[in-house]
Chain A
Amino acid sequence: MTNLAIAANGLRKSYGDKVVLDGIDLAVPEATIFSLLGPNGAGKTTTVQILSTLIAADGGTAAVGGHDLARKPDDVRGAIGVTGQYSAVDKLLTGEENLLLMADLKHLSRRDGKRKAAELLERFDLLDAARKPAATYSGGMQRRLDLAMTLVGDPRLIFLDEPTTGLDPRSRRSMWQIVRELVASGVTIFLTTQYLEEADELADRIALLDHGRLIAEGTPEELKRLIPGGHIELTFADTHLLDAARHLLGTGIADPQALTLQVPSDGGVRAIRELLVVLDEHSIDIADLSVHTPDLDDVFLTLTGQHKETTR
């Protein structure tokens, strides 16, 4: 069994009467990307704040980076890096000064600090702006500086709270690339997002958070398979074959114009093989085949009974 970077049990948090987290269990293996996915107000930031020692939970226990959250918060702090939802750079200082400040607080030697800062400025494409105050940076640049600052002490576990919200598609892709590189080097990432596409793209495991409860957890594929709505789309050379297949299978939605037949299916390998065998036995040739697993939007819709309000 692999070690867990985060193991949480029954985390709860309320503000007054409002229950924000209602018993959250989490298990995040080392060197993986775990994504907490949920709409506005689901409790994502609250979860990150608890796990990163910013606020105390009302109930539940957690070990983060192998340290007990309640009893050894300083050891947890030593093991993690946090890039919060809102910019956490010193806007009056330059990008370089911000990085050197982090290096000093991580107690690197002056030389190591300088080297690290130079390396990160280069890696995050901030060399040209290194000597300018962070207040003059664009949103994307501030976001990159923010993450660069988090990386100064080479933390093994990194929290990213909505790292790409508000970024343009290109900046988002480059942020994804950085996240992938980090994981490849053995870092564990705990990432929150309200973008289904992002969780799908990056995460090894996804947990769906809604109104302070985890409503589902698993790999992206597992989650997609949880729900109906998937289908296999077959394309035929002519209407004759299309009709034959339609009769043979006894189910599916035919589109004579496009010469396609949509057969309901979970999209698994087994289902595909069975389908192909049946068609083959009756000598019905197919021109094309594509599998449509439902996307995570469908998952959310099915599990919560309502559309997720994306604020893209």
Chain B
Amino acid sequence: MSTLTLAVRDSSTMVRRQLKRLIRYPSMTVQLVVTPAILLLVFVYVLGGTLGNGLGGGGGGRDAYVNYIVPGILLMAAATAATGTAVMVATDMTEGIIARFRTMRIYRASVLTGHVVASVIQQLLGMIVLIVIALVIGFRPNATAIEWLATAGLLTLFAIAITWLSVALGLKSPTPEAASNAPMPLVLLPFLGSGFVPTDSMPTVLRWFAEYQPFTPIMETIRGLLLGTPIGNSAAIALAWCVGLTAVSYLWAKNTFNKA
């Protein structure tokens, strides 16, 4: 069997393993939808009236805010899931089955690929649920089919990048508890970017950070695709971040796994 066929076959075996585990223990998946959903509802219904008026342009108010917040909530959902993935990976590494895999003639990285693909599928399903909730409470995108596809593509790339990163963090963590803290900053990044309020409302230092961190161009691109706001060079920067982060995290994770 060629290396590529071996890699594909073993990886898909590992994806099936991981999906079975996720389906059997759905609490993690549920939490991954519930947390951002609650946040969505709180922000829209409690803060949305006021925050929406501050957006400037358009109608303002709650309706404007639902539209504004969706990209941030989607990324937040992915970041929350990443925390879960890091814990999953760290827990998995303490299990004897990993030692068994290491004594078998299989494509090594397939263990990690299994985690990543399953987690990305889980995140995309979660995002669909969140978009449906948003639509119910007044989200009104004006995207064409192509723009929806582009959105799905970018969200997938983002999910892949952040999941490889959390796999690496999970592998680096000495314990599952430590792994649950490592990706925490990722959950905060939508707040420290253009996820919940426009960056030009922030103090200088924070604004500088918000404009250059990876989540902002991704959120701006999605906002542009779904609502027709200007995208500018955000799309290119967003793609570069996703691809770069994936490459670095993948190599980091693979090396860490092989060394252990």
- What is the distance, in angstroms, from A23's C-beta to the closest C-beta of chain B? 24
For B102, list chain A residues within 8 Å (CB).
Answer: 53-54
Q: Is the CB of A149 within 8 A of B105?
A: no
- Cβ contact of A77, chosen from B13, B17, B95, B104, cutoff 8 A: B104
Residue pair B96, A88 in contact (C-beta under 8 Å): yes
Contacts of A89 in B (CB 8 A): 96-97
Are A80 and B103 in contact, with the CB atoms below 8 A?
Answer: yes
A48-96 contacts to B, CB under 8 A, are 52-54, 74-75, 77-78, 80, 82, 84, 86-93
| Surface stretch bound by A, among B20-28, B34-42, B71-79, B218-226 | B20-28
**Are B95 and A91 closer than 8 Å at their CB atoms?**
yes
A92 to B118, CA, bound (A): 15
Interface size on B, residues (CB 8 A): 21
Taking a contact as CB atoms under 8 Å apart, the answer to whether B97 and A82 are in contact is no
Find residues 72-89 in chain B having any chain A CB closer than 8 Å to their own CB: none
A139 to chain B, nearest CB (A): 13
C-alpha gap A87/B97 in the complex (Å): 8
Q: In the complex where A107-B1, A133-B24 touch, is A52 in contact with B105 (Cβ < 8 A)? A: no
Q: Which residue of A lies closest to B92 (CB)?
A: A90
Q: Give the chain A neighbours of B101 by CB distance below 8 A.
A: 105
Asked if A82 and B100 make an inter-chain contact with CB atoms under 8 angstroms apart, the answer reads yes
Give Cα A97 to B184, complex, Å: 33
Given contacts A101-B13, A104-B13, A105-B10, is CB(A90)–CB(B97) below 8 Å? yes
Q: Using Cβ atoms and an 8 Å threshold, which residues of chain A touch B16?
A: 104
Closest to A55 in B: B102
| Chain B residues, CB < 8 A from A149 | 100
Question: With a CB–CB cut-off of 8 A, which chain A residues contact B106?
Answer: 105
Q: Is B140 an interface residue (CB 8 A)?
A: no
A93 close to B17 (CB less than 8 A) = yes
Give Cα A216 to B21, complex, Å: 47
Residue with the greatest number of chain B CB neighbours at <10 A, chosen from A52, A89, A104: A104
How distant is A101 from chain B, measured CB to nearest CB, in Å?
6
Question: Which residue of chain B lies nearest to A91 when distances are taken between CB atoms in the complex?
Answer: B95
Cβ–Cβ < 8 Å partners of A105 in chain B: 10, 13, 101, 104, 106
Measured between alpha carbons, how far is A306 from B47 in the docked complex, in Å? 75
Kindly list chain B residues whose C-beta atoms are within 8 Å of the C-beta of A90.
Answer: 17, 21, 95, 97
Give 10 CB contacts A-B under 8 Å.
A53-B103, A54-B103, A77-B104, A82-B103, A84-B100, A86-B99, A91-B95, A92-B24, A93-B21, A97-B20
Closest 6 CB pairs of A and B: A88-B96, A88-B100, A77-B105, A78-B105, A104-B13, A82-B103
